[in-house]
Amino acid sequence: MEINTMTNTIKGRIVVFSLLMAAASGYALAQDAALKVSSSEAMKAATSKVQPEYPSIAKQWHLEGAVEVEVHISEEGSVESVKPVTGNAVLANAAVSATKHWKFTPFTANGKAVKATADLSFNFKM
């Protein structure tokens, strides 16, 4: 009987420990989560925008269309990373390359500068 009690106590402590660890990691993830801003907010906050160059191969193939990229912005307003979301790969590469050089006014939450993410759209038309 005593072994069962000890086993249940240990199992209970493991469950409590697991729940505490899960809660702590969730809290850490929430603090690292970037503020999601709209495309229009991001465009208003952009202080320096580099327009994408139309790739020569895209011109030769008469490629046109919209491209959407997701930009990750640091607390200081610089671009940390950019990834394509939609659009032709050739055109998306040009949009990604240009967006990496953008600068933004830092975004804030509760009076503190925070990381942000936004989706930006580019329209390639010949």
Q: C-alpha distances in angstroms, 6 versus 9, 10, 12, 20?
A: 5, 6, 10, 21
Superfamily of 34-124 according to CATH: TonB (3.30.2420.10)
Domain ranges of the chain: 1-33, 34-124
Mean pLDDT, rounded, for 21-37? 58
**pLDDT over 90 (residue 22):** no
**pLDDT over 80 (residue 5):** no
The pLDDT of residue 60: 96
User: From CA 4, how far away is CA 26, in angstroms rounded?
Assistant: 33
pTM: 0.73
Range of weakest confidence among 27-31, 45-49, 50-54, 76-80:
27-31
Place 40 in a pLDDT band, splitting at 50, 70 and 90. very high
